[in-house]
Structure 1
Amino acid sequence: MFETESDVLEWYENQPRAISKEFLDSIPWDEVRDHPLNPAFQPVLVYMRDVESFTEIYYEELLRTPTGKNPVIRKFMDRWSGEENQHGDLLNRFLNEAGYPTSECWMQEAKAAIPFRYTFENRLYPLITNCFGKSFSGAHMVWGAINEMTTLQGYRRLWSLAGHPVLEKLLRAIAQEEAIHSHFYWSIARLKLEQSGFTRNLSRFIIGKFWTPVGQGTKPQQETDYVISTLFKGEEGVEFFDRNVNQRLEQLPGFDGLGRVTQRIARIAL
């Protein structure tokens, strides 16, 4: 267990990147089409690509809040945003190599397709969170931890279900970096939640009432639902999600017994 936020940052900065130059050089792109990809997974990959590329939007949102002004979190986000954008670029290349060509302007097109409601709410968001000052940082970190854990488990499910060796190699490397991100968020969240009962109560209320699956908002709900129903379908998929995401969430101070996250997934996947 880390004792300070600086300890968490030091740990994070000492983690080597899984997606190194050596790894990139080892990806057998010329073998991608040797293995069929179920067309059902193409929309999932597009969704994941877009959400990874939207990290800079989330980054800019946080910078307008006390959370983003925290020097430890800010330093983490500087590296985190770059890694997530690279994940999006790699997923986009895989789509093209697999026979699903994308536009050269895919990132701009994806951002242009973000619903107006999200853009409008994005402008109001800092005004609301800033009312609570640093006390809202706990909710930010818990939300981020859930999303990173969800992303990580989504990648695990995808490579298992798709059975594509090149995709698995790529997703395993991305997942290693997502695991590091999720542990940073979770560890900072724990420290924030331990600071006061108000922070714990506020964070539990925010997650319990307002949490939505990663990507929803920037992507239409029907696309979010498709990804969830594809990756976590049925009792086995929901149990997998609960074990690897919700039960980890419940280990945070003040979150014992909160089943909101699994319940939200189950409504779609069952």
Structure 2
Amino acid sequence: MAEHFNIERLMDSSGRVDLTDINWADVPKYPLTPEAIRALRYFLLTENSTFFYVKALMSTDAVYEEPELAPFLCVWMYEEEFHGRAFRKFLEAYGEPPVQTYRRDMFLSRGAGEKIDEIGQNILGKIFPAHWPAVHMVWGAIQEFTTYMGYQALIDRIDHPILTTICQRIMKQELRHYAFYKEHAKRRLQDPTTQKVNAAAVKLGWTPVGDGMCPKEEVVHAVRFLFDGLDGAAIPRIEQKVRELPGLEWFDMFTKFAERYDIRRAPDSWFPKNMRKNVESSHKTGSASMVDAL
């Protein structure tokens, strides 16, 4: 049985991901494919978009009604910001620095759906004040688990020793974030009405992490590079994990997204030589054993 989430332990152990021992001069010694660099840029943008979502959560009554939520949001935004910083430093060390205005560019170019969501969340939060925080918790649980799986895919598919070290350290923090969201989602979803409100919201608006803040073609590329789309084992595994939440036994939204954009197996040329066999072996044996214990 999973241990009850301990906010004090999270606060005591929180902090920026440790990069002090990373030898950045060694980063260019291990070649990356253009598709891998593109995927890393996607992670940079999604990690650095966290503060946009914090704004929506800060507008709910749950922020001051629940003693755990405000401190968690402080930790979450701080740690996620440094996850993005880690990718920026890695890309700079590799010789592929992002433009200085990448955050502003991302915000100004975000999709229409993202802008509508910002308005809609405030309105729906007022209409369903007792139920809407659960939607945020469910959303967070899905996105954090997906991100965790994405980090494991980066390790398996890029096979860069320095990137692997960075990803493994970030994954430990992502695991704590996921644990918080999952526990709060489960607690709130005990109410049947909350389950109905949440199901309707997820069916109406859920898409993979980063969608809306990044162009659709970048989302499709990331899902293909990381998970092999409909041909991989990761999407069914993510959906299986989501179905553990009350009222979400039907969840198949990730599969439908992959079907809508016909996302299939990534070409072997996207990965270092001989990596495809290692990737497929990793997916068969399972790469999320730590998070499965939660």
- Please give the root-mean-square deviation of Cα atoms over the aligned residues, in Å: 2.3
**C-alpha distance in structure 2 between counterparts of 1:234 and 1:62, whole Å:** 30
Q: 2:251 maps to which residue? A: 258
Pair 1:265–1:249, CA change in 2 (3 A)? same
Which of 80, 91, 109 is the aligned partner of 2:76? 80
One-letter code of the match for 1:160?
A: D
**C-alpha distance in structure 2 between counterparts of 1:146 and 1:18, whole Å:** 23
How far off its partner does 1:223 sit? 1.4
* Percent identity (aligned): 27
How far off its partner does 1:120 sit? 4.7
- Would you say the 8 A contact 1:141–1:186 is kept in 2? yes
Q: 1:122 maps to which residue? A: 118
Q: 2:215 maps to which residue? A: 220
How far off its partner does 1:260 sit? 2.5
The SS at the match of 2:68 is helix
Q: 1:249 maps to which residue? A: 242
Q: 1:98 maps to which residue? A: 94
How far off its partner does 1:18 sit? 8.0
**C-alpha distance in structure 2 between counterparts of 1:261 and 1:124, whole Å:** 22
**C-alpha distance in structure 2 between counterparts of 1:234 and 1:53, whole Å:** 24
- Would you say the 8 A contact 2:140–2:181 is kept in 1? yes
Pair 1:77–1:99, CA change in 2 (3 A)? same
Does residue 64 of the first structure (1) align with residue 59 of the second (2)? Answer: yes
Normalised to the residue count of structure 2, the TM-score between the two structures is: 0.81
Q: Which ranges of 4 or more aligned residues in structure 1 deviate by more than 6 Å?
A: none
Does residue 41 of the first structure (1) align with residue 52 of the second (2)? Answer: no
One-letter code of the match for 2:225?
A: T
How far off its partner does 1:261 sit? 3.0
Structure 1, gaps ≥5 residues long: none
One-letter code of the match for 1:75?
A: P
Q: Residues 116-158 of structure 1: CA distance to partner in whole angstroms, max 9, x if unpaired?
A: 5533541342112221002111111011100011111111111
How far off its partner does 1:77 sit? 0.4
How far off its partner does 1:45 sit? 1.1
- Would you say the 8 A contact 2:14–2:79 is kept in 1? no
- Would you say the 8 A contact 2:10–2:176 is kept in 1? yes
One-letter code of the match for 1:134?
A: A
Single out whichever of 250-259 and 89-98 deviates more from structure 2.
250-259
- Would you say the 8 A contact 1:8–1:187 is kept in 2? no
- Total equivalences in the alignment: 262
Q: 1:32 maps to which residue? A: 27
More helix by share: 1
Single out whichever of 168-177 and 201-210 deviates more from structure 2.
201-210
- Would you say the 8 A contact 2:199–2:247 is kept in 1? yes
Does residue 133 of the first structure (1) align with residue 129 of the second (2)? Answer: yes
Which of 11, 29, 33 is the aligned partner of 1:13? 11
